[in-house]
With several copies, the nearest count.
Chain A
Amino acid sequence: MSGEEAERLVEALLFASAEPLTEARIQEVLGARGEARAVLARLRTRYAGRGVVLEESAAGWAFRTAPDLAPALARLDPRPRRLSRAALETLAVIAYKQPVTRAEIEAVRGVAVSRGVLDQLLEHGLVAPRGHREVPGRPVLWGTTPKFLDFFGLASLDDLPRLDEFGDGLFAARGGGTEDPSGA
């Protein structure tokens, strides 16, 4: 099979799926016909600047419509996705400080994290439980999912802006690890 054929195959495979596919899965289908990574790179170049572009994230590879076309495509989805302000803030804290307990999220936000807020995030598949903190009560630890990256168009968590870019280094949690912003 020529390189062109391998490209057609991967193109079809990715087009057929609404969810990102891992490189391993793509290689599995490709078999000896080609090297997934190289084929994906060629395909990404081919689609660069088109109405549909090939995206890579920790969740895998997926075709998505180009973001700049959003206004013209707005009417496509009659029920646009919504996340409440509380859900977005909670998600931001989880993304930066994961794995993090509900109490820790509440300490940052200064208000209780309602069941509805967590439900919203879980429903969208953006967060997931990540075990327990080994302290009395063994509270659940929360973290983001690969879907979180796909949802916000991030290649990895490293694509999140450094928080000191916000003009404040105090909330430099990721990497810093266990800093408690409540000052406790």
Chain B
Amino acid sequence: MVSGGDEEVLVVEVAGFSGPLDLLLDLARRQRVDLARIDMVELADRYLAWLEGARRRRLALAAEYLVTAAWLLYLKSRLLLPAAAVDAEAEAEAVGLRRRLAALDAARRAADWLRDRPWLGRERHPRGRPERLPMRRTGPLRVDLAELVRAWFALAARAERARVVTLVPRRPLSAEEALSWLARRLTGHDWRDLRAFLPPVAEDPLARRAALAATLVAGLELARRGEIELRQPRPFGPVLVRRRRRGERP
């Protein structure tokens, strides 16, 4: 069966096998090229001889190698019965093993084929300095008149402050001023946030709160006159406002 020299080589290679099936494939390949016709009895003998050699050299083998050995021994014993008595089950198991060896063989060849392909990053290289393409913004412009006007008033106020050195005494925006501002600005019939109609005031929080209060009073007054509608969908939420359509009843 296996010569001593062969054994030597096999034992040295033990680390290279990933499991008994891998080892069996290697042994089968030494026997024949056509794995479908592999002699199971001979394969079992080779395996057992290899195992014996490995044990003599005290190689630590995983238990599965021994399980496979036991199974092969059993398979061999049944295949060696007189032809008439060879059971179909043993034949089927032999065929199964041949198929598994052939499948593993194909997988290994496919792996070799992939290994030898020109890999990306090994034989073929992508662009090393990919460039970020610029973004072109094409969306619609979002800005409204109130923003534009507020920007202007803020600039004007800043310029005014810079020019006039004497301090102007601050006084809150009056309800009348807020009323006149809101009555003129609020033209739409869509619900809008009341805060969009704040007259421009100094940027300090107190002045803004006073302006908000005055604008709310103005809104209530205009609503009382039936010119506009006010609505607050949830407690402490934003107050919404719109102009009442002509002819609509309050």
Count of A-B contacts with CB under 8 A?
A: 287
Check if B18 is an interface residue, CB within 8 A of chain A.
yes
Check if A15 is an interface residue, CB within 8 A of chain B.
yes
Check if A67 is an interface residue, CB within 8 A of chain B.
yes
Which B residues are in CB contact (< 8 Å) with A183? 95-97, 99-100, 159, 163
Which B residues are in CB contact (< 8 Å) with A70? 118, 122-124, 134
Q: Is the CB of B123 within 8 A of A181?
A: no
Question: In the complex, how many residues of chain B place their beta carbon closer than 8 angstroms to a beta carbon of chain A?
Answer: 86
Give complex CA distance A77, B138 in Å: 6
Give complex CA distance A81, B117 in Å: 13
Q: Is the CB of B114 within 8 A of A88?
A: yes
Q: Is the CB of A83 within 8 A of B20?
A: no
Q: Is the CB of A109 within 8 A of B177?
A: no
Q: Quick one: which of A76, A88, A173 has the most chain B CB within 10 A? A: A88
Q: Quick one: which of B97, B124, B130, B200 has the most chain A CB within 10 A? A: B124
Closest to A66 in B: B124
Check if A82 is an interface residue, CB within 8 A of chain B.
yes
Check if B13 is an interface residue, CB within 8 A of chain A.
no
Stretch at the interface among B41-49, B144-152, B236-244: B144-152
Q: Is the CB of B141 within 8 A of A15?
A: no
Q: Is the CB of B152 within 8 A of A96?
A: yes
Check if B173 is an interface residue, CB within 8 A of chain A.
yes
Which A residues are in CB contact (< 8 Å) with B184? 161, 165
Give complex CA distance A178, B151 in Å: 17
Check if B21 is an interface residue, CB within 8 A of chain A.
yes
Instruction: Identify A74's interface contact among B120, B134, B207, CB under 8 A.
Output: B134
Q: Is the CB of A95 within 8 A of B136?
A: no
Question: In the complex, how many residues of chain A place their beta carbon closer than 8 angstroms to a beta carbon of chain B?
Answer: 63
Q: Quick one: which of B102, B114, B140 has the most chain A CB within 10 A? A: B114
Instruction: Identify A92's interface contact among B110, B139, B176, CB under 8 A.
Output: B110
A151-184 interface (Cβ within 8 A of B) = 151-154, 160-161, 163, 165-171, 173, 179, 181-184
Check if B22 is an interface residue, CB within 8 A of chain A.
yes
Which A residues are in CB contact (< 8 Å) with B135? 74-77
Check if B196 is an interface residue, CB within 8 A of chain A.
no
Which A residues are in CB contact (< 8 Å) with B136? 71, 74-77
Instruction: Identify B131's interface contact among A16, A107, A161, A165, CB under 8 A.
Output: A16
Instruction: Identify B120's interface contact among A73, A79, A93, A153, CB under 8 A.
Output: A153
Instruction: Identify A77's interface contact among B106, B114, B137, B185, CB under 8 A.
Output: B137
Residues of B within 8 A of A (CB): 18-22, 33-36, 95-100, 102-111, 113-115, 117-145, 147-149, 151-153, 155-160, 162-163, 168, 170-171, 173, 176-177, 180-181, 184-185, 199-202, 207
Top-5 shortest CB links A-B: A110-B21, A181-B103, A183-B96, A16-B125, A181-B159
